[in-house]
Amino acid sequence: MTATTDATVVRPPAPKKGWTAARIGGAVWIALWMVIAFLAIRLAVTEYSTAFYLRYGPRILHGLLVTIQLVAISVTIGAVIAVPIALARGSRNPLIGALAYSYVYFFRGTPILAQTFLVYYGAGQFRETLEGLNLWWFFRDAFNCAVFTFALNTSAYQAEIYRGAIDSVPKGQTEAGEALGLSRWAIFKKIVAPQAMIIALRPLGNEIILMIKSSAIASIITVFDLMGETRLAFSRTYDFQVYLWAAVLYLSMVEILRRVWDRIEARLTRHMKRLGE
């Protein structure tokens, strides 16, 4: 490019002055959020009662712990189940491929609430069979049923994430491994999986966030997670601020996970960053 005179340089337009419609709209909207925040804080101050916090505070924090356990266990078990399903989805055997596809389609196409009911109430119906198999102790507990359902559910979503990530690794990478005489397992473990994990990372983080949100439905089958304790406290006190506290806790969980995930991603992709970037 040749040097241009000042007159022809394209500059970004200067911000508009005065009260444009967008600015008025934005100001009104921000004001609305502030009013809502003010009302929520006022509710917490005017309705403050030490007895309430002493009574329900520890219970709600315990519920928070249950939610974290529920999500952590489900996502971990789900990841273990998801890998073979992801591999089966890409299998050359059409029967195995079709089975894996139906599994994924069922769990992704039906509401998680209906799946939870199917497992929790359905297990009760097969009590004798389950007792015979010595499995009743597991399905008797609502928490276990929730973990069981959530793990199967998330495994279907995770299988799709891993499948997509494995497929997105260029074929040349596998061929290079074959040219070096590596076994199929070594190619997967040393070449494909590390690259696929980087691609799968972001959707996996989103899936965990969705799981945190979905875990609230465990409260419907009598698990006292964060949502369960909140509903209990509300039904006893009719104090609406418990819902606001639950909202704050859920939002914090999601936000913390999002930040941690950004850190993990930055760490794992640091070799892909250019100097000075």
- What is the contact surface with other proteins in residues (CB under 8 A)? 15-16, 20, 22-23, 25-27, 29-30, 32-33, 105-106, 109-115, 117-118, 121-122, 124-126, 209, 212-217, 219-220, 227, 230-231, 234, 240, 243, 246-247, 250-251, 254-255
CB of 176 to other proteins, least distance (A): 27
Q: Using CA atoms, how far apart are residues 144 and 38, in angstroms rounded to an integer?
A: 40
CB of 251 to other proteins, least distance (A): 5
Question: In terms of CB distance, is 147 or 253 closer to other proteins?
Answer: 253
- Class of residue 101 by CB neighbours under 10 A (exposed 0-12, middle 13-18, buried 19+): middle
Q: Is residue 167 within 8 Å of 90, Cβ to Cβ?
A: yes
Q: What is the DSSP letter of 225?
A: S
Q: What is the DSSP letter of 181?
A: T
Question: Tokens 């899936």 identify what position?
Answer: 207
Question: In terms of CB distance, is 69 or 195 closer to other proteins?
Answer: 69
The number of beta carbons lying within 10 Å of the beta carbon of residue 31 is 10
Residue type at 180 in one-letter notation: L
Q: How far is CA 187 from CA 56, 83, 173, 177, 209, in A?
A: 54, 16, 9, 6, 31
CB of 33 to other proteins, least distance (A): 6
CB of 120 to other proteins, least distance (A): 8
CB of 195 to other proteins, least distance (A): 25
Question: In terms of CB distance, is 49 or 183 closer to other proteins?
Answer: 49
Question: In terms of CB distance, is 48 or 121 closer to other proteins?
Answer: 121
Question: In terms of CB distance, is 224 or 250 closer to other proteins?
Answer: 250
Q: Using CA atoms, how far apart are residues 67 and 223, in angstroms rounded to an integer?
A: 9
